[in-house]
Each structure stands twice: as C-alpha cells, then as structure tokens.
Amino acid sequence: MPLWHKRSRKQNLAPVNNSSIHIGSDALPALAQLLQRPGTTHVAVLADTNTARLCYPRLQPLLPDNHLLIEISAGEEHKTLSTCERVWAELTEHRFDRHSVLVCLGGGVVTDLGGFCAALYKRGIRCAVVPTTLLAQVDAGIGGKTGVDFQGFKNHLGVFQLPEAVCIEPEFLTTLDPRELRAGYAEVVKHWLIADADAFMQGRNYGLFVDDWAAVVRESVAVKQEIVAQDPLERGPRKLLNFGHTVGHALESYLLGQAGRAILHGEAIAAGMVCEAWLSVQKGLLTESELDKIETFLFSVYDKVQFVTLETEAIAELARQDKKNQGDTINCTLLEAIGRGVYDQPVTVAELADSLRYYHRL
Ligand SMILES: NC(=O)c1ccc[n+]([C@@H]2O[C@H](COP(=O)([O-])OP(=O)(O)OC[C@H]3O[C@@H](n4cnc5c(N)ncnc54)[C@H](O)[C@@H]3O)[C@@H](O)[C@H]2O)c1
Ligand SMILES: O=C(O)C(=O)C[C@@H](O)[C@H](O)[C@H](O)COP(=O)(O)O
Ligand SMILES: [Zn+2]
C-alpha cells in the first residue's frame, strides 16, 4: 500500500519497536509509571533554561525526590558536542548507571541532544522524551533521530535510537512563543504535503488559527509514525520526511553561522519547501497550479527568509553534506502531487541555487 493512502483519523499509534507514544492527559501519568519501574536507579531531567522554568514545575511532582535536574542553555547554537560533554560529566559525577533514566524535557534541541547523550553514555541508558514545542511534539520527539550539529552542519553527528516512551502533553504549548509555534507548524505542513492532500486543503482554510492543537498533534504524529514504522533507519521511504530539508538545512546552517542572522529550523524548512516544490515543477513532477497553492499558503504564514542572490551558491554548496546523498549525487525529496512525496530525486548544486534565486524573486 502506498504511504500516502488515506489514513483513518482514529488510527492507533502503534509502537515502533518498543517505543510507546502517549498523547494527552495520560501522557504524564505514563511517564510517572515508567520512572517507578522496579530496578530504576537514578532519574535525571534534561531541560533548557526556558523549559526548566516553564515546564519542569509541572513534572516535578511525578519525579522521585532524589532526581537530578540538568539545565543547558536554550537555542540551536548549544546543540553541540560540548553541551553533551557537560551532560555526560553530570551523569558521571552522580554515578548514573545503565538502570538510570534521562528524561528529555524540551523542544527539538533538548530531545535531539538528550537522546544522543542517553544513547552514548555507557553505551546506552534509558531515555524518555517529553516534547514541549509544537515542532518536537509532531516531529523531533518521534522516530528516534538523535544528534548534534558539528562544524556548521546540521545533525552531523548522531544515532538512531528510540526512547522508551514519548509523553506528549499538548498543554505545554500554552507558554510557547508564537514565533516558535509558527516554526513548528512548518513540519505539520510538511507532513500534509508528503502524505495528506486533504489535510493540506483543509489546513489552508485555518492556517495558524487552530482551536484544537491536540488534534493537530495527533494527526501529524500519526503521519510520521506510519512512515518511520516502515523504514526506521531511513534507507528509503523515511526520506520523505526530509522534504524541504535539502535546501532548508543548507539555509539554516548558512545563517546560523552568521551573527544576527540565525533563523529557526521550521522557518528554514518553510523556505526549503517552496524551493523544493519549485524544483518539483522543473522536474515535471508537480503542476504550476499546485506550486501556486503551496506558495500562497506558506507565504500567508511565514515571512520571507532574507538573503542576497550573491549568497545562493554558497548556501546551495552546503547541500553537498546532506545525509541523503550518495557519493557526488545530491538526492532530494520532491513532490509528485500535493500529498505525495517522492524521494531519491537527483539534483545539482546549480539547480538548488536556481531554486533559491526563484524564492528570492518571489
Ligand atoms: N529528530 C528529529 O526528527 C527532528 C525533527 C525536526 C527538528 N529537529 C530538530 O529540532 C530542533 C528545533 O526544535 P524546536 O523548534 O523545538 O527548538 P528548541 O528546542 O530550540 O525550542 C524552541 C524554543 O522554545 C523554548 N521552549 C520549549 N518549550 C517551551 C514551552 N513549552 N514554553 C515556552 N518555551 C519553550 C526553548 O527553550 C527554545 O528557546 C532543531 O535542532 C532541529 O534540527 C529534529
Ligand atoms: O525524522 C526524520 O526522518 C526527518 O527527517 C524529520 C526532519 O524534520 C528533521 O529535521 C530531522 O532532524 C532531519 O534529519 P537529517 O537526517 O536531515 O539531519
Ligand atoms: Zn525538520
């Protein structure tokens, strides 16, 4: 059955291997149960400065009295090996063993970095994820991609390692900055564009004016979960989830490296999706009218990312390090229709630069 077949809205979230996903009011009780499992020796919560202040108090009553709080600085610039070293040093100092649990409480930076730390410390300790941004609830917390940035390249070091549980409490979203909510929404739109044309058509009507975020989270998690279940290690169909990321990651990496110009991951992906939808038209896969629908919608939600045309080649060059590549071939995920992604589509650096120039002209 193709990946983009119509899913039942009530579809169960089948665990991928042994990772369970809890969404809604039973999510935090499920975490409490996991932490009380006999044999658990130590519990640490990894949070960033914001989630330590805004989300940790909600978790505290569920935690054992002697738990450890490890706080890291917030922001993509801290998703690095040196932050991991700090986390590992704290675990070591407090004699965490393999029966310990690391609870990652935060957005994608905390869940990516924390998952990576848990996977490597003593070759693997238990890990639970409590995603607190929209982006992490619909995407980063799901599917076991963990890692950190390295030498300016996104997620350049990492492992696939599923957490024991993902506990999603949509109420955490109430304290989220509107810019962060908007950025996370880009991954929701990505899921629609690769796998759910009906949801895209409906979503166009309400944009960010959503009154039931929990429903949006459930639907989006179901799309990702279904794809990850088929291909956990990204040998094939999981590459669909990378739509918008060949250009998006290049743009994000380029701007992150320049003081004052960093943009959020979701903002980069929104721009990347416009570029890659345009490339899909150039390759004869998508119609002009579909491209127009995608662009109109994305520009109704996102501001244009600012760069000058002189920078397009340098940005496009960064795609040579994309993880979907094979040898010198840059493999992109494109669209063959709204709601139908297609992966392993070769593109050149020149074509990626053209797509950025197209975006710049819009
Ligand atoms: N592993 C994956 O599959 C995957 C998928 C998508 C993105 N990512 C990664 O995720 C990262 C982006 O994640 P993100 O957008 O969540 O960014 P983030 O983790 O930096 O969080 C965004 C900001 O929101 C704050 N925050 C978090 N929860 C909050 C809350 N409930 N209330 C108030 N503030 C809160 C954080 O402190 C931070 O300042 C990128 O590094 C990206 O590469 C990974
Ligand atoms: O889960 C996946 O697979 C994804 O590609 C989801 C992406 O939204 C996410 O940004 C992921 O971290 C990108 O992975 P990478 O392998 O391109 O670094
Ligand atoms: Zn992403």
Domain boundaries, the chain: 20-175, 178-361
Architecture per CATH, domain 178-361, reads as Up-down Bundle (1.20)
- 132 CB less than 6 Å from ligand 1? yes
Residue 191: nearest ligand to its CA?
2
276-313 exposure pattern, b = at least 16 Cβ within 10 A, e = fewer: bbbbbbebebbeeebbeebbebbeeebeebebeeebbe
- pLDDT attached to residue 1: 32
Residue nearest to atom 5 of ligand 2 (CA): 242
At CB < 8 A and 24+ separation, what contacts does 216-220 make?
216/138, 216/188, 217/23, 217/134, 217/137, 217/138, 217/168, 217/170, 218/23, 219/9, 220/138, 220/139, 220/187, 220/188, 220/191
Gap between the Cα atoms of 297 and 189, Å rounded = 10
Residue nearest to atom 41 of ligand 1 (CA): 109
Gap between the Cα atoms of 150 and 120, Å rounded = 16
Contact 266, 184 (CB under 8 A): yes
DSSP H or E segment with residue 112: helix 108-120
- 55 CB less than 6 Å from ligand 1? yes
Residue 184 CA to chain centroid, in angstroms?
Answer: 8
Residue 159 phi/psi, 5° resolution? -140, 155
Gap between the Cα atoms of 20 and 81, Å rounded = 28
Instruction: Give the other-Cβ count within 10 Å of 139's Cβ.
Output: 28
Gap between the Cα atoms of 264 and 242, Å rounded = 16
- Bridge partners (DSSP) listed for residue 334: 342
What are the residues whose beta carbons fall under 8 Å from the beta carbon of 175, sequence distance 6 or more? 54, 55
- pLDDT attached to residue 279: 98
Measured in angstroms, how far is the CA atom of residue 277 from the centroid of ligand 2?
18
- pLDDT attached to residue 287: 98
> Identity (one letter) of the amino acid at 133?
T
- pLDDT attached to residue 260: 86
List of the chain residues with pLDDT < 70: 1-18
- Bridge partners (DSSP) listed for residue 347: 330
What is the DSSP track for 241-289?
GGTTHHHHHHHHHHHHTSTT----HHHHHHHHHHHHHHHHHHTTSS-HH
Please state which of the four CATH numbers 3.40.50.1970, 3.40.190.10, 3.40.50.2300, 3.40.50.720 is assigned to the domain occupying 20-175.
3.40.50.1970
Q: Which atom of ligand 2 is nearest to the CA of 108?
A: 12
Q: Which of 149, 226, 242 to mutate to test the pocket of ligand 2 (most atoms within 8 A of CB)?
A: 242
Gap between the Cα atoms of 166 and 160, Å rounded = 15
Please tell me what DSSP assigns to residue 138: I
- pLDDT attached to residue 14: 46
- pLDDT attached to residue 18: 60
- 149 CB less than 6 Å from ligand 2? no
> Identity (one letter) of the amino acid at 223?
V
Residue nearest to atom 20 of ligand 1 (CA): 75
C-alpha torsion 314→249→86→42, nearest 10: -170
- pLDDT attached to residue 9: 36
CA distances from 210 to 181, 185, 203, 214, 294 (A): 11, 11, 9, 10, 19
Residue 83 CA to chain centroid, in angstroms?
Answer: 19
- 143 CB less than 6 Å from ligand 2? yes
- pLDDT attached to residue 19: 78
Q: Which of 84, 133, 225 to mutate to test the pocket of ligand 1 (most atoms within 8 A of CB)?
A: 133
